[in-house]
């Protein structure tokens, strides 16, 4: 009958309705709004997101990281400090001696490092380009490499000024200085071109180190090179301390100085050398060790905590090597104070006096 047919259709329709309701439940759960805490951007990326390494070429994050702001501010201070040093040395003929040429090389490298940090912030949050990001990373690698190598060249120049004091002021010294500058910048530019020309981990993220897009092998080479430079600087400064101690002792005997005066003079020179080497070690050693021991699975905060002191070495360098120099102080004072003559007679000091 008609009623029996309607009952059979109703019985067959009920399972279909149940199946449709079960299928619609997951869709309803997917359309439900997520927890608001999950949508909030985090300053520190979690390890599950795969962003454990410091990424210098990643897509711009949802919020501005305070670590990137700190890098940008540090870069601005570094650029201003070292731009003044470069301008003073370039505009003052009396400061174009071998020693000040090396200081100008150091200031130029630190100036480029500061500009690289500023450009990194701009291209990360304002202008997005993978090629430009790689160029910025190459600029940072080249500038920091030139900065470290310039510190080594200054150390070599100081040692030679003490070891060969009678022949230091000669044409050979000028030629040697230019050769060192050519070698420093050739090696540094070559290291900076490596990530730009393809030695990066953009195509293969598994090869990344603690600083992207640099590979783990690239960071190992840079770290080993740093330890070699640091070892040579340590050896040279030990030799400088021995020469300073011997010269101070000889001068004390010739002029009949008291032993206390000889001790004070020598201690002041050794403490200055300890300050120079100590500042370099404290700034760069943590980051170099972390590049060797760490990998991309480590939290990003570890990379920032070791990288910030390293870049701050470029902030300390002009204070140690330039602004403490009496000749640069005199030129700077002349520029700032118009009441003084611009042609102040002064003798360019040797590296051993700095």
Per-residue pLDDT of the chain (354 residues; tens, 9 = 90+): 555 665 665 555 555 555 444 444 444 444 444 443 333 333 333 344 444 556 665 555 557 788 889 999 999 999 999 999 999 999 888 888 888 999 999 999 999 999 999 998 888 877 777 788 888 899 999 999 999 999 999 999 988 888 887 777 777 888 999 999 999 999 999 999 998 888 888 888 888 888 878 888 889 999 999 999 999 999 998 888 888 777 766 666 666 555 455 445 556 666 777 788 888 999 999 999 998 888 878 888 888 899 999 999 999 999 988 888 888 888 888 877 754 444 444 445 555 454
How would you class 23 by CB atoms within 10 Å of its CB: exposed for 0-12, middle for 13-18, buried for 19 or more? Answer: exposed
Give the SS3 label for residue 235: helix
Q: Alpha-carbon Rg of the chain, whole angstroms? A: 30
Give the SS3 label for residue 339: coil
* Cβ neighbour number for residue 125 with a 10 Å cutoff: 16
What's the pLDDT at 314?
92
Q: How much is the pTM? A: 0.76
What's the pLDDT at 251?
67
Q: How many Å apart are CA 200 and CA 215, to the nearest integer?
A: 6
What's the pLDDT at 205?
81
Q: How many Å apart are CA 101 and CA 128, to the nearest integer?
A: 37
User: 55: part of which helix (H) or strand (E)?
Assistant: strand 54-55
Give the SS3 label for residue 211: strand
What's the pLDDT at 23?
47
């Amino acid at each position: 009958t008609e009623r029996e047919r309607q009952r059979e259709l109703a019985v067959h329709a009920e399972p279909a309705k149940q199946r449709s309701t079960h299928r619609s439940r997951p869709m309803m759960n997917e359309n439900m709004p997520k927890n608001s805490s999950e949508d909030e951007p985090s300053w520190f990326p979690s390890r599950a997101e795969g962003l454990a390494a410091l990424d210098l070429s990643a897509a711009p994050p949802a919020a501005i990281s305070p670590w990137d702001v700190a890098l940008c501010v540090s870069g601005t201070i570094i650029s201003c400090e070292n731009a003044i040093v470069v301008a003073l040395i370039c505009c003052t003929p009396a400061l174009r001696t071998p020693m000040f040429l090396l200081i100008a090389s150091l200031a130029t490298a630190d100036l480029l490092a500061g500009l690289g940090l500023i450009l990194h912030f701009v291209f990360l949050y304002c202008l997005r380009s993978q090629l430009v990001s790689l160029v910025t990373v190459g600029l940072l690698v080249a500038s920091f490499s030139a900065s470290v190598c310039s510190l080594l060249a200054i150390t070599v120049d100081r040692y030679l000024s003490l070891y060969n004091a009678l022949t230091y002021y000669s044409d050979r010294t000028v030629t040697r200085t230019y050769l060192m500058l050519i070698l420093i910048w050739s090696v540094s530019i070559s290291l900076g071109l490596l990530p730009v020309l393809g030695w990066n981990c953009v195509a293969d993220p598994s090869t990344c180190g603690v600083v992207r897009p640099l590979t783990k092998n690239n960071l190992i080479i840079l770290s080993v090179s740093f330890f070699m430079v640091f070892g040579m600087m340590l050896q040279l400064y030990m030799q400088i301390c021995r020469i300073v101690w011997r010269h101070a002792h000889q001068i004390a005997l010739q002029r009949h100085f008291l032993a206390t005066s000889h001790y004070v003079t020598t201690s002041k020179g050794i403490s200055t050398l300890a300050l120079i080497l100590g500042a370099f070690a404290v700034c760069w050693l943590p980051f170099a060790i972390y590049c060797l021991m760490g990998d991309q699975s480590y939290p990003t905060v570890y990379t920032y905590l070791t990288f910030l002191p390293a870049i701050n070495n470029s902030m300390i360098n002009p204070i140690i090597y330039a602004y403490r120099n009496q000749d640069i102080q005199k030129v700077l004072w002349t520029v700032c104070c118009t009441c003084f003559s611009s042609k102040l007679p002064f003798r360019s000091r040797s590296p051993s006096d700095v």
